[in-house]
Structure 1
Amino acid sequence: MRIAVEAPLQDEVRALVAALNAHLRPLSPPEFQFQLTAEQMAGGDTTVFIVRDETSRPVGMGALKAHDASTGEVKRMYAAPEVRGKGVGWLVLQAIEAKARALGLARLVLETGATPGFEPAWALYQRSGFAVCGAVLDYPDSGYSRFYEKTLTP
């Protein structure tokens, strides 16, 4: 598998976004799902990473959204069902962290679901050095979200 920064306004990336949204839809109420569209990910403050398999089919994604000079947010993490457990999420998080460091960001944060079904995501973030924290950015502390942060050392 290979990972690269790609433009989100591609049909293949839109299909990954749709698959992620379909996966998330039953897990928490829609008003507590904070999903970026492909168009929103195309902004200059967001870097999108796409993982492709040996046939060049996209099988995973994630994005880094820079909020200010010190804080970046991990967004839209997804691995296709057939590649889950094969390191796709780890690969994406490593790329996001490397980009955040290159931008000089001091901290990464993220919001994910707090309901059953999100356990694999929690395990990935914790294995990657993220710690549970209070609400971040402008997310509501609803009980449907779990928040993580990681300090990036120079």
Structure 2
Amino acid sequence: MIVRPGGLDHPATAALLAAHLADMHASSPPGSVYALDLSGLATPDIAFFTAWDGDDLLGCGALRTLDDGTGEVKSMRTNPAARGRGTAQAILDHIIGHARAAGLTRLLLETGTGTMFDAAHRLYARNGFVPCPPLGGYVATAFNRFLSRPL
């Protein structure tokens, strides 16, 4: 498995992100989906990463750099065919390394609740993320969780 920057222009990435957005909208209350589409991820403040096994896209994730020296983990998604292979951990490790190299001091994220998000909650807990107040312009609801970890 290789995690590398970029990949937004690859058709497999577009398909994975479209499936991600569809799942988020299908399993989330209206107004509580903060997942980004391709254009939302193609901004100067976001570093986007993809994980590959040869020509097979395993997953993706992103890091948004915020003005206060923190970073926000975005768009973590593993291809269903690649689950159980450590893809999410590899991408998160890459994001953490990139954030440290950029001099960021803390990572933040917003995620949902419910069965669909259980694996993500376990991943973030294993990696030192703990509950925190809402970040940025996010609205706290019974559906979402906000997590942070120092770097």
Note whether the superposition's TM-score is higher than 0.5.
yes
Distance (whole Å) between structure 1 residues aligned to residue 84 and residue 59 of structure 2: 12
Q: Measure how far apart 1:73 and its partner are.
A: 0.3
Distance (whole Å) between structure 2 residues aligned to residue 99 and residue 61 of structure 1: 14
Amino acid at match of 1:26: A
Given that residues 18 and 37 in structure 2 are in contact (C-alpha distance below 8 angstroms), is that contact kept between their aligned partners in structure 1? no
Partner of 2:109: 110
Deviates more, 1:117-126 or 1:130-139: 130-139
Partner of 2:26: 26
Given that residues 7 and 42 in structure 1 are in contact (C-alpha distance below 8 angstroms), is that contact kept between their aligned partners in structure 2? no
TM normalised by structure 1 equals 0.92
Partner of 2:45: 45
Give the 5 Å matches for 1:95-106.
95-106=94-105
Q: Which runs of 4+ in 1 moved over 4 A?
A: none
Q: Helix, strand or coil: the match of 2:31?
A: helix
Distance (whole Å) between structure 2 residues aligned to residue 56 and residue 69 of structure 1: 37
Deviations 1:116-145 (A, max 9, x none): 321100000001111122211211011111
Distance (whole Å) between structure 2 residues aligned to residue 23 and residue 80 of structure 1: 12
Deviates more, 1:84-93 or 1:4-13: 4-13
Distance (whole Å) between structure 2 residues aligned to residue 42 and residue 85 of structure 1: 28
Partner of 1:124: 123
Q: Helix, strand or coil: the match of 1:31?
A: coil
| Unaligned segments of structure 1, at least 5 residues | none
Partner of 2:147: 148
Q: Measure how far apart 1:7 and its partner are.
A: 4.1
Q: Measure how far apart 1:8 and its partner are.
A: 1.5
> How large is the Cα RMSD of the aligned pairs?
1.3
State how many pairs are aligned.
151
Deviations 1:43-98 (A, max 9, x none): 11101110112x31112000000011411000000001121121101001000011
Identity of paired residues, percent?
36
Q: Measure how far apart 1:9 and its partner are.
A: 3.0
Given that residues 7 and 50 in structure 2 are in contact (C-alpha distance below 8 angstroms), is that contact kept between their aligned partners in structure 1? no
Distance (whole Å) between structure 2 residues aligned to residue 141 and residue 46 of structure 1: 23
Amino acid at match of 2:91: V
| Unaligned segments of structure 2, at least 5 residues | none
Partner of 2:35: 35
